[in-house]
Amino acid sequence: MCGIIGIWAKNNKGKEQIAQLPLALPSLKHRGPNHQDYKLYSKCGLGHARLSIIDTDERSNQPFVSDDERYTLVFNGEIYNYSELKQELEKDGVQFKTTSDTEVLFHLLINKGAAALNHLNGFFAFAFYDNQEEELLISRDGVGIKPLYVYEDDAVFLFSSEVQAFQSFDIDLQIDKLALNSYFCLTYFTENQTVYSNVNKLLPGGFVELKNGKKLEGNYCDDLTEKSNLSYQDTVKKLRDLLTDSVAKRMVSDVPLGAFLSGGLDSSIIAALAVKINPKLKTFSVGFDHAYFDETNYANEVSNHIGSEHINLILNKEDFKLNFQSFLSAIDEPFADSSAFAVYLLSKRVKKDVTVALSGDGADELFGGYRKHFADYKIREMGGVKKSLVKVAASGLKPFRSNRSDRLGELNRKVQKLKDGLALNHQERYFKWCQFIREEDRKELLVSDFKSIENPFAELGWEDLNAVLLADQKLVLPNDMLKKVDLMSMAHSLEVRTPFLDRRVIEFANGLPSTYKVNAEGGKQILKDAFRDLLPESVLNRPKKGFEIPIKEWLNDEITTILEGPLFTSEFIQNQGLFNYSYILKLRNEWSDPNFGDKIYMVWALIVFQHWWERNSTSA
């Protein structure tokens, strides 16, 4: 787990900027504190910040360069099938100097070029340069676990693990005003968008080849689906075998390894499998001194059941105040999933004991674990009488508060969303339920010409619930969940590995009937059946609850200072030219209204954006 950066010069003007790469590399040091280095050529420059995990010896430092200096690799991630690949390469006569997966990837790329991508099982972003032919290949893993950002103009082609590294180059970064609509809708940027109009994300599975004066782009794994004709019982067995092997592969490490344990089904399965390999496994959870949000009792129960050495981190309002500024400084571009704050402090605590942590990320998107998945299933199966009852219940609850801060408010919020979903088709309902901030509020906030956001996955067959899961794998997983974990864990030089996102597990899960995953009993049914014997019954039966933090309560004491501070004055907002001050004033005046509800996400997104702007306004 590391950070990479690179520059490709298109002309003499671009070649002058290659010398700026060493100035950008320190911005990635938090991703790789063990070693930072770079290699500069006449047409290309590559930099690397290393977090040592496998073969911690300096011989595996990067950039990894061939003896004749023809080939150079910078690589962020892990290749989990590197042992098998190494054996195949050795049969072809390749001799290895290290025990690292970096060298395996290096020789595989020398031998196969871009075709090597189809042989990889892991998470990665890398750049591979052939100095003799002046050819560059960059790529990103097929799920989007590791980030890779790209900037291009007439002189240079730049890439980096984080957007902020581009600020060290002599380039003109422009705010993408249209993309702000996505950010203030979903709390993150979608598809290949970023906060800058001239910086894009390389899509999951994407690759770019630069050679012979041309740029070739493609995707090596558009479809991660493998159809299965197995019986249900054989399917359960195969899923268990695949995930067990996936966990085992992800426990290969030359540094201490632990696991996140929330007490939910996904992380509990991973921890239960991991503790069989390492009986002294340390597990970690984050909780809150707020009865409604705290769920550490579930994590404690699982830990006692599986026998892990468990550590709870309980956060309170004071922790929020003390760490708020450092948390905001860790965000490389606006990202407003508020639970990122909890992941930030959990990662900070975990890093004190281990350098690698396993997580349960990805299971919800593969096996239908979100509440919206079960709600979508219910609407699809719901008859006219039940739909009428939902409408009556929604009407009766409408006068009461709707929020995520207590049980009554959460119940009302879910009933209102369910009622709204009845009137929409499957595709419209999916995208409506992904949104945190209403379109009418965004119209009031944003100054730029407003366009309604459409579901970007119209081509999926929406009559089957599997389409909802695939859409989440393309939208929510890489842009929100994985972005959050990568950003917050790497802020503390912690590597997080995701066994559910093994390529074999994904392909198998995506080929299963949706009824194996979500049915009348709820979501993730096949996961429960596959691992029922490993977990306490309470974990199998507990209702799904989103990972939330008590953001409204934590901000209460600070909100007046924040919204009346220098980043929210009329003059500051007017000079930005992005937001309507009248709407910000409206939010400030309505803060104490019991029905403020989901507008809290607008406030949070604004706070995150303004602090990002303050740090980056010279380049914006």
List, by residue number, the catalytic residues: 2
Q: Which DSSP string do the residues of 285-305 spell out, in sequence order?
A: EEEESSTTT--HHHHHHHHHH
How far apart (Å, rounded) are the C-alpha atoms in residues 12 and 16?
Answer: 7
74: closest CA among 115, 111, 11, 31? 31
- Enter the DSSP assignment of 223: -
CA distances from 312 to 12, 288, 304, 322, 541 (A): 55, 10, 13, 19, 22
Give the pair of three-digit tokens for residue 13: 């003007």
Neighbouring C-beta atoms of residue 93, cutoff 10 Å: 6
- For the beta carbon of residue 425, count every other beta carbon within 10 angstroms: 10
Contact residues for 16 (Cβ-Cβ < 8 A; gap 6+): none
- CB 292 within 8 Å of CB 407: yes
- Position of tokens 């050795």? 90
Handedness of CA 329, 332, 338, 339 (dihedral sign): negative
Which of these, 51, 412, 52, 337, lies nearest to 183 by C-alpha position?
337
* Burial profile 113-150: b = 16 or more Cβ within 10 angstroms, e = fewer: ebebbeebbbbbbbbbbbbeebbbbbbbbbbbbbbbbb
Taking the C-alpha atoms of residue 122 and residue 80, their distance in angstroms, rounded to an integer, is 5
| Bridge pairing between strands 199-201 and 149-152 | antiparallel
Q: Give the separation between CA 229 and CA 49, rounded to whole angstroms.
A: 45
The DSSP secondary structure of 522-576, one letter per residue, reads BS-HHHHHHHGGGS-HHHHHSPP------HHHHHHTTHHHHHTSGGGSHHHHHHH
| Sheet of strand 44-50, all strands in order from the earlier edge strand to the far edge | 35-40, 44-50, 2-9, 156-160, 149-152, 199-201
